[in-house]
């Protein structure tokens, strides 16, 4: 047998990309609610208004650290703009139907997130919003009724907007208290319903997308470094609090993992690849390993970054690391110092094209070895249980003449990736807890804001412009994944 008994097969979503109902039942605005839709070619916009002058405008959601609104202006919803998170896939009103479909596929687990601004609408409120708490009670009850174990991300690319505006998001240490209070509130409320938790989605995106990963309006290197530090301390305090509330809780880290290859054997390229991996693994060195690596401290020294820290921060980091390390992994990335060979890649990935791999329409290469390499790297470095919580293919699905979606391209991607992860378990002995592929039900793309970049086994009738009935249907991959789960990953064939 390849995967252990009780291996947690399932799928993953994020509240801001699937729920909709952005202002219902007392929910406050989050950073996700002020980001418009874009495309592969056109970046999404973060819209803003200056409350004193009434001036409005936007900044492009691009990779790196810039201000997302000019001084005096605040991220805001503008009339006439389209914001895909506002309705998304409307899971808020379809959750029973959606969970029934997951159960039909045989899901053992469902990774979802709680929208922080549904529970604390402004982030710094003294009391939680009861209607928001009740919504997740219903969702967890429905999952438990269907034998599906929830895996809950506390913060997935949405920070209450008020915290971004009043405090510059995670750049402020005040966020540590607000977040830990939020975590304790949901730990106590859902104790007995939820056992597995993740603190921050893709925590290393603080470097690349500081507004969506940390609510930073001013995202200088100093602020990003502070934002990451504050999230590390919050994670340690959350692990501490969670274990005090229920010693059975498992509270994991979530890292965006993209394997970096060097384009050439030129040692300068090799060094560049290693340095880029260090930039990613810095985040797991601290959150899972418990210590800052010297390379990052040296970089801060060189760049004049001075952390607002306390000696006890470092004691907490060492004492309360994450219980397990989960990660997203879709593709690999290639870097080079030979600029003449540089051809661009897509979305959150920075680098050049890999001549050995085919890429999706959004520039993400399908790499049949990447999960094995990721699992090997992380096992060798941390010796902790691992969980793949995102993987999948974003593709345009066409409805065929028979009214169905024959998504063989998605099945092929998943076959290659699951085989790669199986090799990591059977050949290398990786301690893998589960696999939740991304966007098991179609949802809004985080990178581009599109609906047409679909990952799901379940199709949602909704288009980029917001049209569509929101009806759900089963793609071919739905039946394929059902078989994969029922054979515990032994039968990956696509012959029906």
Positions marked catalytic: 202, 390
Of residues 46 through 65, those in contact with ligand BG6 by CB under 6 A are none
The dihedral region occupied by 307, where left means phi > 0, alpha psi between -120 and 50, and beta the remainder, is beta
Instruction: Report the residue from 36, 117, 222, 328 that binds ligand BG6 according to the rule CB under 6 A.
Output: 328
Phi and psi (nearest 5°) for 157?
Answer: 55, 30
Task: Report the phi/psi class of residue 243: left, alpha or beta, with left for phi > 0 and alpha for psi in -120 to 50.
Answer: alpha
| Least CB distance to ligand BG6 at residue 453 (A) | 5
Q: Is 347 in the site for ligand BG6 (CB under 6 A)?
A: yes
Q: How far is the CB of 14 from ligand BG6 (least distance, A)?
A: 5
Strand partners, 472: 460
The string of DSSP letters for 212-223 reads HHH--SS--HHH
Q: Does 390 bind ligand BG6 (CB under 6 A)?
A: yes
**What angle is formed at CA 420 by the lines to CA 419 and CA 425, rounded to 5 degrees?**
90
- CA 442 to CA 437: how far, in whole Å? 12
Among 447, 464, 484, 489, the residue binding ligand BG6 under the rule CB under 6 A is 447
Q: Select 44 or 372, whichever has its Cβ closest to ligand BG6.
A: 44
Tokens of 215: 């609510």
Burial of 93 (0-12, 13-18, 19+ CB in 10 A): middle
Count CB-CB contacts under 10 A for residue 71.
Answer: 8
Residue 410 lies near ligand BG6 (rule: CB under 6 A): no
Other beta carbons less than 10 A from residue 357's beta carbon? 17
Pattern of binders to ligand BG6 over 243-262, x per CB under 6 A?
A: -------------x------
Using CB under 6 A as the binding rule, whether residue 434 contacts ligand BG6 is answered as: no
Q: How far is the CB of 337 from ligand BG6 (least distance, A)?
A: 27
Phi/psi region, residue 349 (left: phi>0; alpha: psi -120 to 50; beta: rest), is: beta
Q: Does 394 bind ligand BG6 (CB under 6 A)?
A: yes
Report the alpha-carbon distance of residue 459 to residue 156 in Å, rounded.
22
End-to-end Cα distance, the chain: 23
- Least distance (Å) from ligand BG6 to the CB of residue 212? 9
Residue 438 sits in the site that holds ligand BG6 (CB under 6 A)? yes
> Applying CB under 6 A, which of residues 201, 204, 223, 253 lies at the interface with ligand BG6?
201
Task: Decide if residue 453 touches ligand BG6 (CB under 6 A).
Answer: yes
Rule CB under 6 A: is residue 442 a binding residue for ligand BG6? no
Say whether residue 33 binds ligand BG6 (CB under 6 A): no
Total binding residues toward ligand BG6, as defined by CB under 6 A: 17
Cβ closer to ligand BG6: 250 or 445? 445
Number of H-type helices and E-type strands within the chain: 15, 15
User: Within 148-177, which residues bind ligand BG6 (CB under 6 A)?
Assistant: 157
198 in contact with ligand BG6 (CB under 6 A): no
254 or 262: CB nearest ligand BG6:
254
Q: Select from 386, 383, 353, 355 the least CA-distant residue to 371.
A: 386
Give the binding site for ligand BG6 (CB under 6 A): 14, 17, 157, 201-202, 256, 328, 347-348, 390, 394, 438, 445-448, 453
């Amino acid at each position: 047998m390849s995967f252990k008994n009780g291996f947690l097969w399932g799928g993953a979503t994020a509240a801001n990309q699937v729920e909709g109902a952005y202002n219902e039942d007392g929910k406050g605005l989050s950073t996700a609610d002020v980001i418009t839709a874009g495309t592969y070619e056109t970046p999404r916009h973060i819209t803003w208004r200056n409350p004193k002058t009434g001036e409005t405008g936007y900044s492009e959601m691009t990779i790196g650290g810039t201000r997302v609104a000019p001084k005096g202006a605040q991220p805001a919803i503008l009339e006439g703009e389209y914001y895909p998170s506002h309705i998304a896939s409307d899971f808020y009103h379809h959750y029973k139907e959606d969970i029934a479909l997951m159960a039909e596929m045989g899901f053992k687990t469902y990774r979802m997130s709680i929208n922080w601004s549904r529970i604390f609408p402004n982030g710094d409120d003294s009391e939680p919003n009861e209607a928001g708490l009740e919504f997740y009670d219903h969702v967890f009850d429905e999952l438990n009724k269907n034998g599906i174990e929830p895996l809950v991300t506390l913060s997935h690319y949405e920070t209450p907007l008020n915290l971004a505006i009043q405090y510059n998001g995670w750049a402020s240490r005040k966020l540590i208290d607000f977040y830990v209070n939020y975590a304790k509130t949901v730990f106590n409320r859902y104790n007995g319903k939820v056992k597995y938790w993740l603190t921050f989605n893709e925590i290393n995106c603080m470097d690349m997308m500081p507004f969506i990963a940390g609510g930073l309006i001013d995202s200088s290197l100093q602020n990003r470094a502070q934002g990451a530090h504050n999230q590390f301390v919050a994670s340690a305090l959350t692990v501490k609090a969670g274990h005090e509330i229920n010693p059975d809780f498992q509270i994991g880290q979530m890292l965006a993992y993209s394997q970096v290859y060097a384009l050439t054997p030129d040692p300068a390229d090799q060094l560049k690849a290693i340095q880029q991996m260090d930039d990613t693994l810095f985040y797991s060195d601290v959150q899972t390993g418990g210590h800052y690596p010297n390379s990052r401290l040296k970089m801060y020294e060189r760049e004049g970054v001075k952390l607002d820290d306390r000696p006890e921060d470092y004691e907490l980091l060492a004492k309360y690391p994450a219980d397990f390390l989960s990660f997203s992994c879709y593709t690999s990335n290639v870097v080079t110092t030979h600029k003449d060979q540089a051809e661009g890649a897509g979305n959150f990935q920075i680098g050049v094209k890999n001549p050995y791999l085919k890429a999706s329409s959004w520039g993400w290469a399908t790499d049949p070895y990447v999960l094995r390499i990721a699992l090997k790297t992380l096992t060798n470095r941390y010796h902790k249980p691992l969980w793949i919580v995102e993987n999948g293919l974003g593709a345009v699905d066409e409805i065929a003449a028979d009214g169905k979606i024959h998504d063989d391209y998605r099945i092929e991607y998943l076959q290659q990736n699951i085989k790669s992860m199986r090799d990591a378990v059977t050949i290398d002995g990786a301690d893998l807890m589960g696999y939740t592929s991304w966007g098991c039900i179609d949802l809004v793309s985080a990178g581009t804001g599109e609906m047409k970049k679909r990952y799901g086994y379940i199709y949602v009738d909704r288009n980029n412009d917001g049209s569509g009935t929101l009806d759900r249907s089963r793609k071919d991959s739905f039946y394929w994944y059902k078989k994969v789960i029922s054979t515990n990953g032994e039968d990956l064939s696509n012959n029906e």
